[in-house]
Amino acid sequence: MTVWHSLSSVKTRLFLIPVIAGAALVAFLSLALSTDRNVLWKIAHDKCVANEIQNNNPAPCAIVDLSAGEADGYVLLKDIRGIAQYLLIPTRRISGIEAPEVLDPDLPNYWASAWSHRDLLGQRLGHALAWDKTALAINSQGGRSQDQMHIHMDCVRSDVRDALAAHTADIGTNWTKLAFDLAGTSYYARRLAAADLAAQDPFKLLADGVPGARAAMGKQTLAMIGAVSSGKDDFVLLAAPGGADVADEHSEDVMDHSCAIAQMK
Distance of alpha carbon 5 from the chain centroid = 13
Determine the pLDDT at residue 87.
98
User: 212 or 242: whose pLDDT is higher?
Assistant: 212
Q: What is the mean pLDDT of residues 215-226?
A: 96
Determine the pLDDT at residue 230.
86
Q: What is the mean pLDDT of residues 193-210?
A: 97
pTM above 0.85, yes or no: yes
Residue 7 lies in a domain: no
Residue 14 lies in a domain: no
Q: What is the pLDDT of residues 139-193, one digit of tens each?
A: 999 999 899 999 999 999 999 999 999 999 999 999 999 999 999 999 999 999 9
The candidate with the shortest Cα–Cα distance to 29, out of 222, 197, 21, 84, is 21
Q: Which of 101-105, 182-186, 245-249 has the lowest mean pLDDT?
A: 245-249
Query: What is the distance between the alpha carbons of residues 203 and 107, in angstroms, rounded to a whole number?
Result: 10
Q: What is the pLDDT of residues 18-32, one digit of tens each?
A: 333 333 344 344 444
DSSP for residue 250: B
Residue 256 lies in a domain: yes
Residue 6 lies in a domain: no
Residue 118 lies in a domain: yes
Strand order in the sheet with 176-182: 63-65, 74-78, 86-90, 151-155, 134-138, 222-229, 232-239, 185-193, 176-182
Determine the pLDDT at residue 255.
98
Q: Is the pLDDT of residue 220 over 80?
A: yes
> pLDDT-derived band of residue 241, with 50, 70 and 90 as boundaries?
confident
- The full DSSP string for 145-191 is S-SS--EEEEEBPHHHHHHHHHTGGG--SS-EEEEEEETTEEEEEEE
Determine the pLDDT at residue 250.
82
Q: State percent of the chain over pLDDT 90.
A: 80
Q: Are 26 and 70 in contact (CB under 8 A)?
A: no
Q: What is the mean pLDDT of residues 209-222?
A: 94
Q: What is the mean pLDDT of residues 217-227?
A: 96
Q: Are 242 and 140 in contact (CB under 8 A)?
A: yes
Q: What is the mean pLDDT of residues 57-84?
A: 97
List Cα–Cα distances, 236 to 40, 167, 178, 179, 213, in angstroms.
Answer: 28, 11, 12, 15, 18
Domain enclosing residue 29, as ranges? 19-263
- The number of domains in the chain is 1
> pLDDT-derived band of residue 53, with 50, 70 and 90 as boundaries?
very high
The candidate with the shortest Cα–Cα distance to 151, out of 204, 221, 50, is 221
Residue 64 lies in a domain: yes
Query: What is the distance between the alpha carbons of residues 35 and 196, in angstroms, rounded to a whole number?
Result: 40
Burial category of 241 from C-beta neighbours within 10 Å (exposed 0-12, middle 13-18, buried 19 and up): buried
145: left (phi over 0), alpha (psi -120 to 50) or beta: alpha
Q: Could you tell me the CATH number of the domain that includes residue 39?
A: 3.30.428.30
Query: What is the distance between the alpha carbons of residues 254 and 102, in angstroms, rounded to a whole number?
Result: 22
